[in-house]
Amino acid sequence: MTAEPATRLVEKLGVHLDPELLVLALTHRSFAHEAGGVPTNERLEFLGDTVLGLVVTEALYRRHPDLSEGDLAKMRAATVSQRSLAAIARELELGGYLLLGKGELATGGREKDSILSDTLEALFGAVYLTHGLEVARGVVERLVDATLEVAADLGAGLDWKTSLQEIAARLDLGVPEYLCDSEGPDHARRFTARILLDGEVRGTGTGTAKKLAEQEAAADAYRSLQALVAPADDA
């Protein structure tokens, strides 16, 4: 990582970071292993995850005084999900700054949701260590604000799995059973999920990770069951 791209990333974050701490935040364990066991960003990620959770929880609490604890929890989960954080990381073009080992580079590590989201959390941790909670809050809120706004309008989409379980119970269909298969090489694996309810396939989904495929399948199943609920409600 040269000084120029490091400067660009700091400008995007909007706060100064000590160069050594910035490098640490960008150091994936694969790079650390190949470099002879230098420190990784995992401790910073652990700290940043807590900072992120606190800031998002407080923001939701203040913005939505009429929502229940359950609704707030769903909105928080949607906001801090791996997919949401990876999307923010891509807006920062974070993949270009990552310090990855040769193996991760060869398997598309710069575009992996898990690595991007973890690194973003590590950066939040670095901002907190450097500037404290108030500055960290400002950085987190600025970067996740759009996601917070979208979460307010997602409804059942905040957590498709929970929403599916709730509507399945309402229709007395039992607990959803997830079946997942995968194909392709490790660096380009695709997952396909099916959902069984009362012995019948009610939804399918695909994705680059098992969780993503299951969420898509849950969304598909929820919509199919919602079509059954609507006529009953009109009767």
Q: What is the pLDDT along the chain (235 residues), one digit of tens a residue?
A: 443 467 889 999 999 998 899 999 999 999 998 888 889 999 999 999 999 999 999 999 999 999 889 888 888 888 898 888 999 999 999 999 999 999 899 888 899 989 999 999 999 999 999 999 999 999 999 999 988 887 766 555 557 787 788 888 888 999 999 999 999 877 678 899 999 998 899 999 998 888 888 888 988 898 888 877 755 454 4
121 catalytically annotated: yes
Q: Within the chain, where are the H helices?
A: 3-13, 19-25, 29-34, 42-63, 69-79, 82-91, 102-106, 113-131, 133-151, 160-170, 210-234
Write down the pTM of the prediction.
Answer: 0.71
Query: Which phi-psi region, left, alpha or beta, contains residue 155 (left: φ > 0; alpha: ψ -120 to 50)?
Result: left
Nearest-angstrom CA–CA distance, 10 and 8: 5
Annotated catalytic residue within 4, 20, 42, 49: 49
Q: Where are the domains of the chain?
A: 5-156, 172-228
Question: Starting from the edge strand earliest in sequence, which strands make up the sheet with 190-197, in order?
Answer: 177-183, 190-197, 200-207
Q: According to the annotation, is 118 in a ligand binding site?
A: yes
Decide whether 5-156 matches 172-228 in CATH topology: no
5-156: CATH, from 1.10.1520.10, 3.30.420.40, 2.30.29.30, 3.40.50.1950: 1.10.1520.10
Q: Which of 69, 91, 111, 121 is catalytic?
A: 121
Under CATH, what is the fold of the domain 172-228? Answer: Double Stranded RNA Binding Domain (3.30.160)
CB 79 within 8 A of CB 47: no
- In the annotation, is 141 catalytic? no
Among 166, 190, 186, CA closest to 176:
166
